[in-house]
Amino acid sequence: MPVGLPPSLLKLSEQLRRLPGAGPRSAERMALALVRSHNAWPKDLATAILEAQARVKLCPRCGFYAEGEELCDICRDTSRDSTTLCVVETANDVLPIERAGIYRGLYHCLGGKISPLDGIGPEHLRIGSLLERVESGVGEVIVALGNDVEGETTSIFLSGHLPTHLRISRLAQGLPMGGSIEIADSLTLGKAMENRLSLR
Ligand SMILES: [Zn+2]
């Protein structure tokens, strides 16, 4: 129901509503908070958005978020176990696994899942770079893809194409069916990682 707000305020509110988790009321509250602010915060916010958008790229090695052309913080952390790679669908999937706090290896983000119906084949994903990466000192690959059809297809493809000397495991069941890693809670994810199952 329109409540007669000025057009520029409505426009701002509509833009904020595009944010994940923002509903019409919360977008309206955020818009009002911004336009009624008497300090530099709205300008700082706008600058921070533009700066982050311009600077944040995907790590050239693992595909997680990084600044500029640099490797990400996880790849640069020499205390991590570089012999284990956890394969996830997107960079966002790294966050819940990191929050669960039980994994100290490195990651490889595929940038999607194999989905013949959507025309997404292995050649559209970062699978070639994964196959190259495992050649240098990697002993185990943990496949942490969602347990939907595309996740299963991708897991099967990987277990058929990764070198035979590698140990390959997948997260244990317990994650919601069809659910993505991104929405799993830390406890479930931690248990699924701990009790991972051999894929071949
Ligand atoms: Zn990285």
- Ligand 1 mean position to 6 CA, how many Å? 45
Q: Are 81 and 104 within 8 A, CB to CB? A: yes
| C-alpha separations of 156 from 50, 71, 76, 151 in Å | 40, 29, 30, 9
How large is the average pLDDT for residues 72-84? 97
For residue 125, the tally of other CB atoms under 10 A from its CB is 21
Distance between CA atoms of 64 and 112, rounded to whole angstroms?
A: 13
Q: How confident is the model at residue 199 (pLDDT cuts 50, 70, 90)?
A: confident
- Ligand 1 mean position to 122 CA, how many Å? 21
Distance between CA atoms of 123 and 64, rounded to whole angstroms?
A: 19
Q: Name the pTM for this structure.
A: 0.83
- Ligand 1 mean position to 62 CA, how many Å? 4
Distance between CA atoms of 50 and 20, rounded to whole angstroms?
A: 18
For residue 151, the tally of other CB atoms under 10 A from its CB is 24
Name all domains of the chain by residue range, CATH numbers in brackets.
Answer: 7-56 (1.10.8.420), 62-198 (3.40.1360.10)
Residue among 96, 78, 97, 76 at smallest CA distance from 86: 97
Least confident of 14-28, 49-63, 138-152, 174-188: 174-188
Q: Are 169 and 143 within 8 A, CB to CB? A: yes
- Ligand 1 mean position to 102 CA, how many Å? 18
Can you give the pLDDT at residue 57?
Answer: 96
Q: Are 154 and 168 within 8 A, CB to CB? A: no
Least confident of 93-97, 160-164, 185-189: 185-189
- Ligand 1 mean position to 52 CA, how many Å? 17
Please list, in sequence order, all residues whose beta carbon lies within 8 angstroms of the beta carbon of residue 49, skipping any fewer than 6 positions away.
Answer: none
- Ligand 1 mean position to 49 CA, how many Å? 22
- Ligand 1 mean position to 85 CA, how many Å? 11
Distance between CA atoms of 172 and 73, rounded to whole angstroms?
A: 27
- Ligand 1 mean position to 174 CA, how many Å? 28
Instruction: Tell me what percent of the residues of the chain surpass a pLDDT of 90.
Output: 75
